[in-house]
Chain A
């Protein structure tokens, strides 16, 4: 067994064992649970980094046969390439930082052991997605991350809102997985296999075998997990979970898994499906940034921002094109741009969430931005790091990571689809607008609640992870620093040249500058209430209705689904059971008259009757039948 294989096995085993050990023996000892979970995550991070930077790619042994019926076999194996390395890097780095952050953030929580078991379970499932070498295995871990996400959103399970949110997340994701699973089964019968490497070879031989339907169904997976319209509704609600969870699962890794999956199976998505992917992404990017404008809850703003940024990544993927060179499908610019943005976004969005967690922790669980204010001086480290992440998100030119990755996507759009480019550019403007609103309101002006007044900077367990993420939020975009380990992906990032380059920088920075300036002028510094709400209640109400997705879904559940269930239940009770029973009741009545004198009420007698019957039946049966 090669060293790589051993490391992969350990990467699976450690978090799994951590979750199992906590679940079985340390359910009530929060501190021990935290120690086990953080220790296992630390080792996982070290091993993972070794694998990323020093491990050879694709030295996987033959997959293990797990289940066989006839010619249908489910295998478990791993497939490690630069794409997987990139996501693995994000998962272990952000994962470890979130674990450490949680030590402080969840210090006094009564469900601490449950929380850390959930984190370990999540690490296990996410690592499974990173390595899985076939679609069915991906699906299994896909559902498992959904499960851990469900458990962690439901952490404060005494809150009805958290229960509702976790339920919604689970069911909406299942709707996406409904398409995903059908896509997998179709792919299995169409291609005869679900192994990724074999599929890639087949497409390389003859790309005409691709089916648009399969591509679209597989894309459903990303619709659900990555919060794309129309299945985005669960993500803002998922903010009911503890904030570190939002950072890890609902910003950096799990929601990005949809994009990772697309990039992993890019050779199965034919051009016709890519058009759909592109427009879903573009619309989601715009939609997310529009919704973020009216939110007051700091985490909800960030959640809609995440939806919007995920839209960028999906759009970037859709802008790529499938190419086959020398019988091998080739990663195109779309994959590189999407993964580049996924990479930078993971750091600055995790930082934004952890920063908001730091604020929420310091402000006694206050989440309304209009009840914060003036935190610049009270929480300097949080302020500086949050500002770096904010600048990365809006794309401060030439310095921050977000600038480079967003430019790559914008350029790709500019080159391929001008309309998409305009929408994405406008979304970038909106991004600067809503983030500046948040930044000015939270950190400047006077504190607007007692909690904000009393807040002070958190300890090292919180500020060190912030600092490390801030570091990555800047340098992750500097391509000359990108390690060889990711070259297979990041070398493909599209670059404009000459006048186009200048135009792109000008447009990108211009949109950002206009957004920032508009927010500064319109909302002002440290405002006490929402000016848009006060002066244009109509516009505000329209935007804060979030385009009525929730209302429509609720209407469907209440009016159609519930009534259908009620109706079917009624029919079941009345017609099916009523008629048959009434019909046979008469017959039974006759029989029972005759049998009544056998009913002595003595159980002993019944039992002897049974044994008697057994014997008679036996003898009769054997005489008649043999």
Chain B
């Protein structure tokens, strides 16, 4: 019961602190602003970790459910219904952890318009915590918008090179994506005939009726492309590297690491289970587009010389694996996809963070104008190598990404065996760009331009304490989840099993037990 309140507090704290900063205005001195912001980012993270520990791994439904009656309840019937299931849990933890790391980094580095920055940042964080904790469909969407709008403003105001163009482009794409998905959600709601606009109610309503094939298909298409654009599915991905390249570090971390997962989360949690026929109809096309993410964007990543752009493209590439897992529409595929979302969120956040550290030392993001940095900054080099190897799915330092990718491949083989070949080839491509970036930045000799530039740069030192903390937080969670994945995968497995068929079991034998367990049978494969 207490945990249910804590879940809502995790959303409420950042928003409340943002409001304090806004109302307080200039009367709040800078140090106090930072202290308020510090607690604003700390509480959600602590709550997220606590709820991770407290989560009942055997629960296949929602845990920590609470239904808060707002003052408007009697008037328009609003209630903020929150809770976590096995799919929401990893992402909720992810928001908390990345939010904390990016927040700490900002606390130590942001110098201009501090108050405004943290108001926006806390708004964004509150929105993020809310997205993955909402059972209510309206709030699910609302919190996403709440997190998204500050992103545009922050890029426009604190961004780097190309920020206006990037902010504009991102706004166009993401607004289109968000609008499509909103229409899709409304369509889903209207057709379901549910009493309330929340996931559980719509799901129950959907279970009781069969939509026509056409209705399923077009509704799912709206959701797929709406959510897909938000996750940068190929070929609607060009906003992402550009936007991340221009965004302030904390934004890039939060957006690429967490906010972008909103679309995938929507597809996994809402669209695919509720519209199984539509999902089945579009799955093949989705998988082909996802292979575009893996192969086409993979090769483009190889051609990047700008560090931030490269990380941005690589993150787009890895979304391809998540989509591939989703397209399997099976326990294994979707489970792998969600696990990879969690792992990727951490690894890409670390990489953006470290890219910022590199920039602070070299004065550039151009990897061709660096070299040999490992001698002066061995610890930074260690972190970067670890994070990069984790991100390219090496089952070494951050096993977590590997578990995700492997599981996706295993799931994919059963559905479309041939697709595993290009998908696994992506692993080779990612090794190429990953190792190239390490070599160019940290190893070999210093390039001439770098040597010249150093005259005008401060003396290059290794990471200081304040820089270590956010990186260590992210790495620790990544390594922990990699070494002992079951703390996340068991709840995830329970939740996914209640939504998706385990195809292999279906083909072997259909038992009565499974009939009861899987509510949305629709036209899922192997099930005719």
Taking Cβ atoms with an 8 Å cutoff, the residues of A that contact B are 23, 27, 65-72, 74, 114, 136, 139-140, 143-144, 147, 154, 157-160, 162-164, 166-167, 170-171, 174-175, 177-178, 181-182, 185-186, 188-189, 561-562, 564-566, 568-569, 572-573, 576-577, 580-581, 584, 588, 603-604, 606-608, 610-611, 613-614, 617-619, 621-623, 625-626
Contact = CB atoms under 8 A, between A and B. Distances in A.
Contacts of B304: 569
Contacts of A144: 395-396
Interface string B122-159: 01000000000000001000100110011001000100
A159 B235 CA distance: 40
A178 B424 contact: yes
B235 A576 contact: yes
A565 B299 CA distance: 5
A147 B396 contact: yes
Contact of A610 (B123, B389, B439, B485): B123
Given A69-B496, A626-B76, A611 B22 contact: yes
A623 B486 CA distance: 42
B62 interface: no
B303 A568 contact: yes
Interface of B: 19, 22, 25, 72, 76-78, 113, 116, 119-120, 123, 138, 142, 145-146, 149-150, 153, 157, 168-169, 172, 186, 189, 196-197, 235, 238, 242, 296-297, 299-300, 302-304, 330-332, 335-336, 372, 374-375, 378-379, 382, 389, 394-397, 399, 402-403, 406-407, 409-411, 413-414, 417, 420-421, 424-425, 427-428, 431-432, 435-436, 439, 442-445, 485-486, 489-490, 492-493, 496-497, 502, 504-505
B395 A139 contact: yes
Contact of A607 (B22, B297, B421): B22
Nearest to B435: A167
Contacts of A572: 238, 296-297, 300
B302 A565 contact: yes
21 contacts: A23-B382, A65-B486, A67-B403, A69-B335, A154-B443, A157-B442, A157-B443, A158-B443, A159-B444, A164-B439, A174-B427, A181-B427, A568-B300, A569-B304, A572-B300, A577-B238, A604-B116, A607-B119, A619-B76, A622-B77, A626-B78
B420 A182 contact: yes
Contacts of B116: 603-604, 607
A140 B76 contact: no
A150 to B, nearest CB: 8
A154 B497 CA distance: 44
A157 B485 contact: no
Contacts of A163: 439, 443-444
Contacts of A164: 439
Choose among A23, A140, A162, A174 the residue with the greatest number of B CB atoms under 10 Å from its CB: A174
Contacts of B335: 69-70
B75 to A, nearest CB: 8
B142 A621 contact: yes
Contact of B396 (A114, A143, A159): A143
A576 B293 CA distance: 14
Say whether chain A's binding surface is mostly helix, strand, loop, or mixed: helix
A74 B78 CA distance: 45
B439 A167 contact: yes
A626 B197 contact: yes
Contact of B303 (A23, A71, A174, A569): A569
A618 B402 contact: no
Given A157-B442, A572-B300, A622-B138, A66 B486 contact: yes
A175 B425 CA distance: 8
B428 A71 contact: no
Say whether chain B's binding surface is mostly helix, strand, loop, or mixed: helix
Given A23-B382, A178-B424, A568-B296, A69 B331 contact: yes
B424 A68 contact: no
A174 B445 contact: no
B485 A66 contact: yes
A563 to B, nearest CB: 10
A617 B113 contact: no
A479 B303 CA distance: 56
A144 B486 CA distance: 21
Q: 7 shortest A-B CB distances, which residue pairs?
A: A70-B331, A70-B502, A69-B335, A577-B238, A565-B303, A622-B76, A157-B443
A144 B304 CA distance: 27
A159 B78 CA distance: 65
Nearest to A576: B235
A93 to B, nearest CB: 26
A148 B310 CA distance: 25
A69 B395 contact: no
Nearest to A139: B395
B300 A181 contact: no
A244 B21 CA distance: 60
B197 A625 contact: yes
Nearest to A626: B77
Contact of A626 (B113, B196, B397): B196
Contact of B428 (A114, A171, A619): A171
Contacts of A72: 331-332, 407, 410-411, 504
Contacts of B417: 186, 189
Nearest to A114: B378
A581 B378 CA distance: 42
A136 B399 CA distance: 13
Choose among B196, B304, B409 the residue with the greatest number of A CB atoms under 10 Å from its CB: B409
Contacts of B22: 607-608, 611
Given A164-B439, A572-B238, 10 more contacts: A67-B403, A70-B335, A114-B378, A140-B395, A158-B375, A185-B409, A565-B300, A613-B149, A623-B76, A626-B77
